Amino acid sequence: MSTPDLNLLVTLDVLLAEGSVARAARRLQLSPSAMSRALARLRETTGDPLLVRAGRGLVPTPRALELRERVSQLVQDGEAVLRPAEKINLEQLVRTFTLRTREGFVENFGPDLIARVSEEAPGVRLRFVQKSDKDSAFLRDGTVDLETGVVGKTTGPELRTQALFRDRFIGVVRWGHSLSQGEITPARFATGRHIAVSRRGLDQGPIDESLKQLGFEREIVTSVGGFSTALALARTSDLIASVPERHTVNLRAGMHSFPLPISTPEFTVSMLWHPRLDADLAHRWLRGLVRKICAASHRS
């Protein structure tokens, strides 16, 4: 059995609405002969005359009357599917978004983001998962809707990205630590006892490279996998943590923070998503909120 030509639905809709081959032809910008051929195809496809001669005009058959409203609705639904979405009713939106982020993002930006989401779209839930690597598979397979982090060489080339803010590493110690007072020189910084933060278990990084260029080497007492762990250790010991400034604002409350006395590169934190969600209105709304929250945090 051959598949019906669905383009005929539009022709049938206009024919049944106009009740005239000539008027239907003008509306669809076709010649009368082309419209007559289309009507012939419709009669063959449906197995019904659809429009029959009555005096000088045409009248619909019972089958045509039965189909008129259904065909009209089908055409309207089809046009709605193919038409670009223009707006979204956030108050009625029910959806769960999964965000994959590094330590500190949820603690620093999460409260404001959750509050805004609850205010604008009460039916939306945010699910945060820990980002332990830069594998793009989670965005590709749809497990994760949105991710934040530094775009690197291993980031999937097809992913969409947008910068959120610039960040830099700073030093953090407990109040009363020797580095909480006086000028912090590269020598004073290097001779302290340090916590290294590395997801891959590496002790050496940009901070060590900068110190090495000045002839110094820091003593790394322990290595941890996240910033919150490093800050928790530094808060109750004489250890020094080096963490991203904007990512850890709330985590550093009650501690002493200071600019590193060495030159280290700033980095850009971006949000990443898969192209299939680029035009999704709900996802666009969420991306807009993330941008606003991060921008507001920078101004404050």
pLDDT of 202 reads: 62
* Fold held by 90-167+268-299: D-Maltodextrin-Binding Protein; domain 2 (3.40.190)
Is the Cα dihedral 172, 175, 178, 182 positive or negative? positive
Q: How many CB atoms lie within 10 A of CB 41?
A: 15
Q: How far apart are CA 209 and CA 28, in angstroms?
A: 71
Q: What stretches in the chain show pLDDT beneath 50?
A: 1, 300
Taking domain 169-265, whether its CATH number is 3.40.50.150 is answered by: no
E strands along 102-159, which residues?
Answer: 124-130, 146-149
Residue 231: HSE in the Cβ half-sphere, 13 Å Cα cutoff = 23
Domain with CATH 3.40.190.10 in the chain: 90-167+268-299, 169-265
pLDDT of 247 reads: 87
pLDDT of 203 reads: 63
pLDDT of 132 reads: 77
pLDDT of 283 reads: 96
pLDDT of 102 reads: 84
pLDDT of 153 reads: 80
pLDDT of 296 reads: 82
User: Tokens standing for 25?
Assistant: 């032809």
* Fold held by 8-82: Arc Repressor Mutant, subunit A (1.10.10)
pLDDT of 181 reads: 93
pTM of the model: 0.69
